[in-house]
Structure 1
Amino acid sequence: MKKNYKIFLIACISVFMFACADEPITEGEEISGGDEVAGFTPQPIATGDFPMARNGDTLLGNSDYLAISYGAWRTTTRESGANVPTVAQQKEDMKILAAMGIKVIRTYNTQGFLGLDGISNTENLLIAIDELMAEDSNFEMYVMLGIWIDALNSFTDEEVVHDQESAGNALEMAAGIKLAQDYPEIVKVMAVGNEAMVHWAPYHVAPKIILDHVKTLQALKAAGTLNKNIWITTSDNHASWGSLGSGSDYDNDDLKELIATVDYISLHTYPFHDSFYDEGFWLVPEDEAELTVQQQVDAAMVRATNFALAQAADVQKYMLDLGVEKQIHIGETGWASVANVNYGDAGSKAADEYKQKAFYDAMRTWTNEFGASLFFFQAFDEPWKGDANNAGDSEKHFGLIDIDGNVKYVAWDLVDTLNNAGLTRGDVSAFTQSFDGDIDSLMETVSAPKAAPVNNEPQEGEFVILGTTLYSGASAFGWEDTAWAGINTDTSVLTVATDPAAAKDWGWGSAIGTEGQTEDLSNYTQMTFEIRGVTSAESVFATFQFSVGYQDTMGGEFGTNNFVRFNTAGYELTEDWVKYTIDIADFNNTSAAGLKVVNSPFAIFDLQGSTITKSSIEVKNISWLE
């Protein structure tokens, strides 16, 4: 019987918000357990001076003010000059995001890329928002202003000095302060550094450097040089915020002081990336093996969401253990829709639009309930990111809308809203649903995680043919190339592929065995295994007869085949895994003498001239039992 799951990620039932609605872009079923699952203490309520919207509403943690990470670049390179996003281009983007219900965006630098007029891409963004607010009193868009921080010699051929900072940091700070002063109704948060402390970042700096800059901004705010309601933070990986706990490489006095100095913790969590390094994460557990692909994916996405929440909960615990109680907001998390390295079919199989939407829905649901802002990464695909020579690099595909105006599954229902408003983006004159809005076409691109190897230890009185691995010295092979046989080492599954074109006049066959070696299996009384068929047309199973059994060296040059027939006499091949335990005495031709000289303790073949089909047979957990 298939296991019943309460899956909160429902593929085909998604409600999207329209312009001016007070709901998330997408709504999923409530995450079962909510805060209790991840072990959270309730989010504290902001007091004193804190970022507010134009009407006085609390900005951060308010589900009426959805947030997203924003990058404006539409080109394959990011550099100063003609490619720098203009005010007009960014006005297009802000209108699109506003129509999607987004009211808070996050940026990453202040002055590094200048257009032909000498104005930075970030200042162009603030000009664009300022003009839109002047043109329409109902228009709102607020900014979490990123200030890029890196170590001395970062992005050069020189050795990086992580406890010293680059000269460019002072320029970033100065530009950030000026922009916050010039646009106090727009810039509501200043984030000093983006993943600037996490050790895997080649440009990372010591926490003391971030702490000193945060203190500088807090002093300016206290002096009235900056808006008193602006919040100051740094936005970094969960490890940098202490999720690894006391005694870790990140646990130090400067970090503890930093946590006490920022106005809130801006946390990054990426199960999409982190789970790749967890060997067991993207494997289907044995108790989910009988679920459909969609159910297996849904279950994996529940795990992915809880992965993210657990990291956030660990950060909160570290903070509370310091005697500090502040809000935590998700400064960045996201999910790529395309990948051909690491996260694609050759790796974790994590990247696709279905999983992106599932993760988005789940995280929006939780953050809205918890009272946290979620700066989902990101609004639009940016072609300059990642490997310039690889169009399938996942870094290029984190957006909700791609560069050609295809709106991904997460926001399909917003396409009419965007088009009815007459919104455009560069050469994109109309937005379209990815996959032409066809869910079946989309689902064809969705891969389930690999099946987990079965780690059952051999029991007393058991001879394991194929468990997590084949028995010592054994291999899987086809007989005279009449069939293909092989073991998937990731899943520990034997696959036998049959093809009428490969069969000979005597039939076809495959087996597991050891060349020149026999086994004495005379003490065993049963064979057990799980089997299923894999084909594009299930109807062929009913007419596809074949034999399953073993081979001994009795009976001349080709030995003796001992077998039961499938799709007759009660043994059936179906698309679902079925476990059979068969008495050895029930196999045709079995003899006491033959059991002492078994050369292939498992075989699949057909020597009876039955109708053969082009399909595959999968088998796992093969043993002989006493």
Structure 2
Amino acid sequence: MKFSRFNSMSIRPFQLGSAALALVMLCALASCGGGGVVPATGVQLRALSAQFAARKSVSYSPFRTLNRDTETVTAAQIKQDLDLLIAGKFTLLRLFDSSDNVSKLTLQVIRDNHLDVKVMLGVYIQGNNDAFNQAEIARGVALAQAYSDTVLAVSIGNETMVNWSFNPSTPAAMAAHIKTVRSQISQPVTTDDNWAFYASAPSTITDAIDFASIHTYPLADSVHNPHLWDWQQASVPAATRAVAMMDAAIVAAKKDYSTVRSYLDGKGLSKMPIVIGETGWKAIASGGETFRAHPVNQKMYFDRLSAWSAQGGTGPISIVYFEAFDEPWKNGDDNWALFNVNRQARYLIQSLYPASQWEAGTYSAADAVYYVPVVANAIITANRYASYADIAVAGEARPVETPVFNAWDGTTASYPEVSSSSAPADPSHSIEITPKPALAGWGWGVAQQLPTTADDLSNFGASGFLNFSIKTSYPGKIEVGFMTGSTTAGSAFDVYLPLAPGSYGYLNDGNWHQVSIPISAIVPHGAMAFGMTDASKAKLDLSRVTSPFVIADRYANTGKAQNSNDTTKLNIDAVFWSK
């Protein structure tokens, strides 16, 4: 999917009736665009089917478990999913690849059951893995040919060229893949990528495609580039701030689209249609989207997309909502979907389904979340401040607000609480961290965060210690520490010590060990957090500790090679500050 984290350009309070939703979600134009000639090449653009504008569209992936690599998806499961989507009139699916176990099976289910469903087929490109890519291209071509009555278009590659791509490929390589597919099928072709790529896409790509499929994620951008659009709306009274935020979100999405439209028009490609291939909003915050992600806010964004589609005119041909069903394997990048993993309808589409199929929870417009400035709590005067521990010690302080664990970028680690292992001095739970650095390449991190407040730990600065218990055989150094300030205020400051085995009680021999590090030893390693630009704001402030514990491995800081991608588990327990 998404993130505009490295690009300065980039990456619903009421319910509509089912008939109204059926009309507005995808019908952006009375008929689809396309056709005409690419000026630079003389190649005839293949027109998009009118079905793109006549159907509501959603991206679909069927995985239901924590490990998609070992999961067996059945035809019965896909049939269940498609029946649910058809009931809500979501009948144009974007598939991400041409795999046998998902896409081929999905197309077979559609045909075998005579389902009124059309598909935008994906061909997944895996960097420079030529053997994989050629096999995938062959599968995609075969499916597009065999299911030409169902496959309306083919998209080759997913977010491969935007500058923050986790799966990068060059425009030249992508153009070659696109042309290889296009030469063997009759459907129009594209490549799915972030709007920021398409806003300056080279002719190498625009000469090879029939339409542009762009991704816009105002929510993700608000996390990775907080100043790209004014999501906080801090000047708006609290009573109307949620509405103002969601209005600003749809304005941001429209701006992304308009930027691409203007760029293509300037290249003489005014006849090239644009599809929004991905956009959405989370129902649950799981990757730093505090004050933004909520079922009501998700519906507010969905409703605004629907209204945009209904306007027609010069807007996108269609909008593919991300996504149909939650996928637990995504960990912190989950919770975007129309349905939860149990196939229960979320608030944004409950008007389309009977109450028996709804997710638990009752909401109204008043439940929408919005930005609230971080509240500074009173100074901690106790000699011990425990942020994660089962056993309470007499006289200790605990965080005023219950902390939550989050992976950096929402995806770089999983971190369930387990009862299978715990520190001897603090039974009976621990946090079991499994790094998942392959998505990023630069490493991973997990932070224990206070969502809306900051604790004053300034009394621990001179003679305090950060203590925790750890069990791991993870190789080499790790980073541990804390964070002060907040990204929303532009004051986030990382304070992380590269910790080598044998230092401060830390050993990586697979047994439990208690680590105790002087705060004074961690502080010299502090630096402005990612995305912070004002050193007068982003600086050490122990009176505003917002993450009392952070554990990470940024390879550039620990001496590991880029893409080291070690996934050895680390168990963490008994986290406390002391003096």
Same fold (TM over 0.5): yes
Q: Distance in 2 between matches of 1:396 and 1:88?
A: 23
Q: Residue 399 of structure 1 corresponds to which residue in structure 2?
A: 337
Q: Residue 475 of structure 2 corresponds to which residue in structure 1?
A: none
Q: Residue 312 of structure 1 corresponds to which residue in structure 2?
A: 257
Q: Distance in 1 between matches of 2:234 and 2:217?
A: 26
Alignment-mate amino acid for residue 74 of structure 2: T
Deviation at 1:334, TM superposition (A): 1.1
Q: Residue 125 of structure 1 corresponds to which residue in structure 2?
A: 106
From the superposition, tell whether residues 448 and 256 of structure 1 become closer, same or farther in structure 2 (CA, over 3 Å): same
Q: Distance in 1 between matches of 2:278 and 2:132?
A: 24
Matching residue within 90, 93, 96 for 1:105 = 93
- Residues 104 and 141, structure 1, Cα contact 8 Å, conserved in 2: yes
From the superposition, tell whether residues 45 and 146 of structure 1 become closer, same or farther in structure 2 (CA, over 3 Å): closer
Deviation at 1:233, TM superposition (A): 0.5
Q: Distance in 1 between matches of 2:32 and 2:351?
A: 34
Q: Residue 16 of structure 1 corresponds to which residue in structure 2?
A: 17
Q: Distance in 2 between matches of 1:257 and 1:302?
A: 36
Measured against aligned partners, the alpha-carbon deviations of 1:20-73 in whole angstroms (never above 9, x if no partner) come to 98424699xxxxxx99xxxxxx99833475343xxxxx122x1x3111000111
Q: Residue 556 of structure 2 corresponds to which residue in structure 1?
A: none
Q: Residue 33 of structure 2 corresponds to which residue in structure 1?
A: 45
Matching residue within 418, 432, 443 for 2:358 = 432
Q: Residue 276 of structure 2 corresponds to which residue in structure 1?
A: 330
Matching residue within 123, 129, 132 for 1:147 = 123
Q: Distance in 1 between matches of 2:103 and 2:51?
A: 21
Matching residue within 279, 301, 321 for 1:359 = 301
The answer to whether residue 157 in structure 2 is matched with residue 193 in structure 1 is: yes
Measured against aligned partners, the alpha-carbon deviations of 1:241-293 in whole angstroms (never above 9, x if no partner) come to 1x2x5xxxxx6xxx2131122110000011111111344556644541x341x
Q: Residue 539 of structure 2 corresponds to which residue in structure 1?
A: none
Q: Distance in 2 between matches of 1:283 and 1:265?
A: 27
- TM-score, with normalisation over the residues of structure 2? 0.57
SS in 1 for 2:277: strand
- Residues 284 and 452, structure 1, Cα contact 8 Å, conserved in 2: no
Residues 399-548 of structure 1 mapped to structure 2, 5 A cutoff: 399-416=337-354, 431-435=357-361, 438-439=362-363, 444=367, 446-451=368-373
From the superposition, tell whether residues 306 and 330 of structure 1 become closer, same or farther in structure 2 (CA, over 3 Å): same
Q: Residue 214 of structure 2 corresponds to which residue in structure 1?
A: 267
Alignment-mate amino acid for residue 370 of structure 2: A
SS in 1 for 2:142: helix
Q: Distance in 2 between matches of 1:279 and 1:146?
A: 31
Deviation at 1:309, TM superposition (A): 1.2
Q: Residue 610 of structure 1 corresponds to which residue in structure 2?
A: none
| Aligned alpha-carbon RMSD (Å) | 3.7
Q: Distance in 1 between matches of 2:282 and 2:178?
A: 32
Q: Distance in 2 between matches of 1:151 and 1:258?
A: 16
Matching residue within 189, 204, 207 for 1:257 = 204
- Residues 32 and 47, structure 2, Cα contact 8 Å, conserved in 1: no
From the superposition, tell whether residues 477 and 50 of structure 1 become closer, same or farther in structure 2 (CA, over 3 Å): closer
From the superposition, tell whether residues 443 and 79 of structure 1 become closer, same or farther in structure 2 (CA, over 3 Å): farther
Deviation at 1:14, TM superposition (A): 1.6
Q: Distance in 2 between matches of 1:301 and 1:43?
A: 29
From the superposition, tell whether residues 285 and 73 of structure 1 become closer, same or farther in structure 2 (CA, over 3 Å): closer
- Residues 43 and 328, structure 1, Cα contact 8 Å, conserved in 2: no
From the superposition, tell whether residues 71 and 476 of structure 1 become closer, same or farther in structure 2 (CA, over 3 Å): closer
Q: Distance in 1 between matches of 2:283 and 2:132?
A: 34
SS in 2 for 1:74: coil
SS in 2 for 1:105: strand
From the superposition, tell whether residues 167 and 235 of structure 1 become closer, same or farther in structure 2 (CA, over 3 Å): same
Q: Distance in 2 between matches of 1:439 and 1:26?
A: 25
SS in 2 for 1:407: coil
- Which structure 1 residue ranges, 4+ long, deviate > 6 Å from structure 2? 475-479, 492-495
Gaps of 5+ in 1: 1-9, 28-33, 36-41, 53-57, 112-118, 134-138, 153-164, 221-225, 246-250, 387-392, 420-429, 454-468, 470-474, 480-485, 496-626
- Residues 284 and 451, structure 1, Cα contact 8 Å, conserved in 2: no
Deviation at 1:199, TM superposition (A): 2.3
Residues 28-43 of structure 1 mapped to structure 2, 5 A cutoff: none
Q: Residue 78 of structure 1 corresponds to which residue in structure 2?
A: 68
Q: Distance in 1 between matches of 2:309 and 2:24?
A: 11
Measured against aligned partners, the alpha-carbon deviations of 1:546-597 in whole angstroms (never above 9, x if no partner) come to xxxxxxxxxxxxxxxxxxxxxxxxxxxxxxxxxxxxxxxxxxxxxxxxxxxx
From the superposition, tell whether residues 382 and 494 of structure 1 become closer, same or farther in structure 2 (CA, over 3 Å): closer
From the superposition, tell whether residues 376 and 318 of structure 1 become closer, same or farther in structure 2 (CA, over 3 Å): same
Q: Distance in 1 between matches of 2:343 and 2:121?
A: 26
Deviation at 1:15, TM superposition (A): 1.3
Deviation at 1:450, TM superposition (A): 2.7
Q: Distance in 2 between matches of 1:74 and 1:265?
A: 30
Q: Distance in 1 between matches of 2:66 and 2:146?
A: 31
Deviation at 1:122, TM superposition (A): 1.3
Q: Distance in 1 between matches of 2:277 and 2:260?
A: 13
Q: Distance in 1 between matches of 2:264 and 2:138?
A: 30
Gaps of 5+ in 2: 1-11, 37-45, 382-399, 401-449, 456-579
The answer to whether residue 47 in structure 2 is matched with residue 59 in structure 1 is: no
Larger Rg: 1
Deviation at 1:312, TM superposition (A): 1.3
Deviation at 1:372, TM superposition (A): 1.8
Matching residue within 154, 170, 174 for 1:210 = 174
Deviation at 1:85, TM superposition (A): 1.5
Q: Distance in 1 between matches of 2:231 and 2:55?
A: 37
Q: Distance in 2 between matches of 1:341 and 1:396?
A: 9
Q: Distance in 2 between matches of 1:211 and 1:43?
A: 28
SS in 2 for 1:362: helix
- Residues 353 and 408, structure 1, Cα contact 8 Å, conserved in 2: yes
Deviation at 1:343, TM superposition (A): 1.2
